Amino acid sequence: GQQVMQIPQYQHVQEGEDFTTYCNSSTTLSNIQWYKQRPGGHPVFLIQLVKSGEVKKQKRLTFQFGEAKKNSSLHITATQTTDVGTYFCAGRKGNKLVFGAGTILRVKS
Amino acid sequence: EAQVTQNPRYLITVTGKKLTVTCSQNMNHEYMSWYRQDPGLGLRQIYYSMNVEVTDKGDVPEGYKVSRKEKRNFPLILESPSPNQTSLYFCASSDTGVYNEQFFGPGTRLTVL
Protein backbone atom coordinates (compact mmCIF):
# COMPACT_ATOMS: atom_id res chain seq x y z
CA GLY A 1 0.00 0.00 0.00
CA GLN A 2 0.92 3.63 -0.18
CA GLN A 3 3.58 4.70 2.26
CA VAL A 4 4.96 8.14 2.86
CA MET A 5 8.64 8.21 3.80
CA GLN A 6 10.11 11.27 5.46
CA ILE A 7 13.76 12.15 6.02
CA PRO A 8 15.74 13.02 8.02
CA GLN A 9 14.24 11.67 11.21
CA TYR A 10 16.07 14.23 13.28
CA GLN A 11 18.06 17.41 12.67
CA HIS A 12 19.87 19.69 15.04
CA VAL A 13 20.89 23.06 13.55
CA GLN A 14 22.52 26.26 14.73
CA GLU A 15 20.17 29.22 14.82
CA GLY A 16 20.40 31.01 11.50
CA GLU A 17 21.17 27.87 9.50
CA ASP A 18 18.76 26.50 6.92
CA PHE A 19 16.73 23.32 7.34
CA THR A 20 15.05 20.99 4.86
CA THR A 21 12.83 17.93 5.33
CA TYR A 22 11.88 15.63 2.47
CA CYS A 23 8.84 13.50 1.86
CA ASN A 24 8.65 10.65 -0.66
CA SER A 25 5.76 8.44 -1.71
CA SER A 26 5.73 5.10 -3.50
CA THR A 27 2.67 6.22 -5.46
CA THR A 28 1.41 9.46 -6.94
CA LEU A 29 -0.18 11.77 -4.42
CA SER A 30 -3.26 13.82 -5.22
CA ASN A 31 -2.29 16.33 -2.56
CA ILE A 32 0.25 16.77 0.19
CA GLN A 33 -0.23 18.56 3.48
CA TRP A 34 2.36 19.77 5.95
CA TYR A 35 1.88 20.06 9.69
CA LYS A 36 3.98 21.35 12.58
CA GLN A 37 3.83 19.95 16.08
CA ARG A 38 5.50 21.93 18.84
CA PRO A 39 6.96 19.93 21.75
CA GLY A 40 4.07 18.79 23.94
CA GLY A 41 1.51 20.11 21.47
CA HIS A 42 -0.73 18.87 18.73
CA PRO A 43 -0.20 18.96 14.94
CA VAL A 44 -1.12 22.26 13.34
CA PHE A 45 -1.79 22.60 9.64
CA LEU A 46 0.76 24.66 7.68
CA ILE A 47 -0.15 24.28 4.03
CA GLN A 48 -1.52 22.05 1.28
CA LEU A 49 -0.02 21.53 -2.18
CA VAL A 50 -2.09 20.13 -5.01
CA LYS A 51 -0.51 20.93 -8.37
CA SER A 52 2.49 19.26 -9.96
CA GLY A 53 5.62 21.39 -9.46
CA GLU A 54 3.81 23.74 -7.10
CA VAL A 55 5.89 26.03 -4.88
CA LYS A 56 4.39 28.00 -2.00
CA LYS A 57 6.03 30.32 0.50
CA GLN A 58 5.10 31.39 3.99
CA LYS A 59 7.65 33.92 5.22
CA ARG A 60 10.82 31.84 5.79
CA LEU A 61 9.14 28.54 4.84
CA THR A 62 9.16 27.24 1.26
CA PHE A 63 7.10 24.22 0.26
CA GLN A 64 7.53 22.29 -2.97
CA PHE A 65 5.57 19.53 -4.66
CA GLY A 66 7.49 17.44 -7.18
CA GLU A 67 6.69 17.31 -10.86
CA ALA A 68 5.67 13.66 -10.60
CA LYS A 69 3.66 14.38 -7.43
CA LYS A 70 5.58 11.69 -5.56
CA ASN A 71 7.76 13.90 -3.43
CA SER A 72 7.65 17.13 -1.51
CA SER A 73 9.94 19.25 0.61
CA LEU A 74 9.77 21.89 3.29
CA HIS A 75 12.68 24.33 3.51
CA ILE A 76 13.16 26.80 6.34
CA THR A 77 15.57 29.68 5.73
CA ALA A 78 17.56 31.05 8.66
CA THR A 79 16.01 28.97 11.41
CA GLN A 80 14.91 30.55 14.66
CA THR A 81 14.31 28.99 18.06
CA THR A 82 10.58 29.30 17.42
CA ASP A 83 10.92 26.78 14.58
CA VAL A 84 11.61 23.88 16.94
CA GLY A 85 9.19 20.99 16.72
CA THR A 86 8.27 18.05 14.53
CA TYR A 87 7.31 18.59 10.91
CA PHE A 88 5.01 16.07 9.26
CA CYS A 89 3.96 15.58 5.68
CA ALA A 90 0.74 13.76 4.85
CA GLY A 91 -0.70 12.44 1.60
CA ARG A 92 -4.24 11.50 0.70
CA LYS A 93 -5.05 7.82 0.25
CA GLY A 94 -8.72 7.56 -0.65
CA ASN A 95 -10.57 8.98 2.35
CA LYS A 96 -7.56 8.54 4.60
CA LEU A 97 -4.55 10.72 5.30
CA VAL A 98 -1.20 8.91 5.48
CA PHE A 99 1.46 10.69 7.51
CA GLY A 100 5.21 10.49 7.26
CA ALA A 101 7.14 9.65 10.44
CA GLY A 102 8.08 13.29 10.89
CA THR A 103 11.32 15.24 11.18
CA ILE A 104 12.27 16.55 14.60
CA LEU A 105 13.98 19.93 14.39
CA ARG A 106 16.09 21.27 17.24
CA VAL A 107 17.66 24.73 17.03
CA LYS A 108 20.71 25.75 19.04
CA SER A 109 20.84 29.42 19.95
CA GLU B 1 -13.77 29.44 19.96
CA ALA B 2 -13.54 26.81 17.23
CA GLN B 3 -11.89 23.75 18.68
CA VAL B 4 -11.59 20.01 19.05
CA THR B 5 -11.66 18.78 22.63
CA GLN B 6 -10.58 15.43 24.02
CA ASN B 7 -11.04 13.86 27.43
CA PRO B 8 -9.27 12.71 29.40
CA ARG B 9 -5.92 14.31 28.56
CA TYR B 10 -4.00 11.73 30.55
CA LEU B 11 -5.00 8.22 31.56
CA ILE B 12 -3.21 5.36 33.25
CA THR B 13 -5.11 2.11 33.28
CA VAL B 14 -4.60 -1.63 33.52
CA THR B 15 -4.84 -4.36 30.91
CA GLY B 16 -8.37 -5.40 30.10
CA LYS B 17 -10.23 -2.50 31.71
CA LYS B 18 -12.56 -0.96 29.14
CA LEU B 19 -12.12 2.74 28.51
CA THR B 20 -13.50 5.49 26.31
CA VAL B 21 -11.74 8.61 25.10
CA THR B 22 -14.17 11.30 24.07
CA CYS B 23 -13.75 13.73 21.20
CA SER B 24 -15.97 16.67 20.40
CA GLN B 25 -15.79 19.45 17.82
CA ASN B 26 -17.83 22.64 17.60
CA MET B 27 -17.15 23.49 13.95
CA ASN B 28 -19.95 21.42 12.40
CA HIS B 29 -17.37 19.32 10.58
CA GLU B 30 -18.51 16.17 8.82
CA TYR B 31 -15.18 14.33 8.79
CA MET B 32 -13.62 13.13 12.04
CA SER B 33 -10.77 10.74 12.68
CA TRP B 34 -8.56 9.20 15.33
CA TYR B 35 -4.77 8.85 15.18
CA ARG B 36 -2.18 7.34 17.40
CA GLN B 37 1.33 8.78 17.58
CA ASP B 38 4.31 6.63 18.46
CA PRO B 39 8.01 7.60 18.32
CA GLY B 40 9.51 6.99 14.91
CA LEU B 41 6.16 6.03 13.39
CA GLY B 42 4.46 9.37 13.03
CA LEU B 43 0.68 9.59 13.09
CA ARG B 44 -1.25 6.50 12.11
CA GLN B 45 -4.96 6.63 11.45
CA ILE B 46 -7.11 4.30 13.54
CA TYR B 47 -10.64 5.05 12.33
CA TYR B 48 -12.38 7.80 10.46
CA SER B 49 -15.94 8.94 9.91
CA MET B 50 -17.27 10.71 6.85
CA ASN B 51 -20.53 11.64 8.58
CA VAL B 52 -23.03 10.57 11.22
CA GLU B 53 -23.40 6.77 11.37
CA VAL B 54 -20.63 6.34 8.77
CA THR B 55 -17.34 4.99 10.07
CA ASP B 56 -14.47 3.14 8.43
CA LYS B 57 -11.17 1.57 9.36
CA GLY B 58 -7.92 3.40 9.07
CA ASP B 59 -4.52 1.74 8.94
CA VAL B 60 -4.36 0.42 12.53
CA PRO B 61 -7.94 -0.35 13.69
CA GLU B 62 -7.26 -3.59 15.62
CA GLY B 63 -8.29 -3.34 19.27
CA TYR B 64 -10.34 -0.16 18.81
CA LYS B 65 -13.98 0.73 18.24
CA VAL B 66 -15.67 4.00 17.38
CA SER B 67 -19.17 5.34 17.00
CA ARG B 68 -20.65 8.46 15.39
CA LYS B 69 -24.15 8.96 16.70
CA GLU B 70 -23.94 12.74 16.60
CA LYS B 71 -22.07 15.00 14.24
CA ARG B 72 -20.01 16.68 16.93
CA ASN B 73 -18.87 13.59 18.85
CA PHE B 74 -16.58 10.73 17.89
CA PRO B 75 -15.58 8.60 20.89
CA LEU B 76 -12.76 6.06 20.75
CA ILE B 77 -13.41 2.85 22.66
CA LEU B 78 -10.84 0.34 23.86
CA GLU B 79 -12.84 -2.72 24.94
CA SER B 80 -9.86 -4.58 26.39
CA PRO B 81 -6.76 -2.38 26.41
CA SER B 82 -3.34 -3.97 26.16
CA PRO B 83 0.13 -2.51 26.82
CA ASN B 84 0.82 -2.13 23.07
CA GLN B 85 -1.96 0.45 22.99
CA THR B 86 0.07 2.74 25.21
CA SER B 87 0.38 5.80 23.00
CA LEU B 88 -0.52 9.43 22.37
CA TYR B 89 -3.94 9.70 20.73
CA PHE B 90 -5.24 12.58 18.65
CA CYS B 91 -8.71 13.27 17.38
CA ALA B 92 -9.07 15.46 14.29
CA SER B 93 -11.88 16.98 12.26
CA SER B 94 -12.31 18.65 8.89
CA ASP B 95 -15.15 20.11 6.87
CA THR B 96 -13.87 18.65 3.58
CA GLY B 97 -12.58 15.22 4.48
CA VAL B 98 -8.91 14.75 3.66
CA TYR B 99 -9.03 17.39 0.95
CA ASN B 100 -8.07 20.16 3.30
CA GLU B 101 -6.87 21.19 6.72
CA GLN B 102 -7.30 18.78 9.62
CA PHE B 103 -7.97 20.37 13.03
CA PHE B 104 -6.42 18.33 15.82
CA GLY B 105 -7.44 18.04 19.43
CA PRO B 106 -4.91 18.49 22.25
CA GLY B 107 -4.17 14.77 22.55
CA THR B 108 -4.71 12.03 25.13
CA ARG B 109 -1.71 10.28 26.60
CA LEU B 110 -2.71 6.72 27.48
CA THR B 111 -0.63 4.27 29.48
CA VAL B 112 -1.79 0.67 29.79
CA LEU B 113 -0.03 -1.31 32.51
The whole-angstrom distance between A96's CA and the closest CA on chain B is: 6
Cα separation of B105 and B95, whole Å? Answer: 15
Q: What is the pLDDT of residue B27?
A: 96
B99 to A88: CB separation less than 8 angstroms, yes or no? no
Which chain A residues have a beta carbon less than 8 Å from that of B90?
42-43
Average confidence score pLDDT of chain B = 96
Mean local confidence (pLDDT), B105-112: 98
> pLDDT 10s per residue in chain A (109 long)?
558 999 999 999 999 999 999 999 989 999 999 999 999 999 999 999 999 999 999 999 999 999 999 999 999 999 999 999 999 999 998 888 999 999 999 999 9
A96 to B48: CB separation less than 8 angstroms, yes or no? yes
H-only helix segments in B1-113: none
Q: What angle do CA B23, A4, B85 make, to 5 degrees?
A: 40
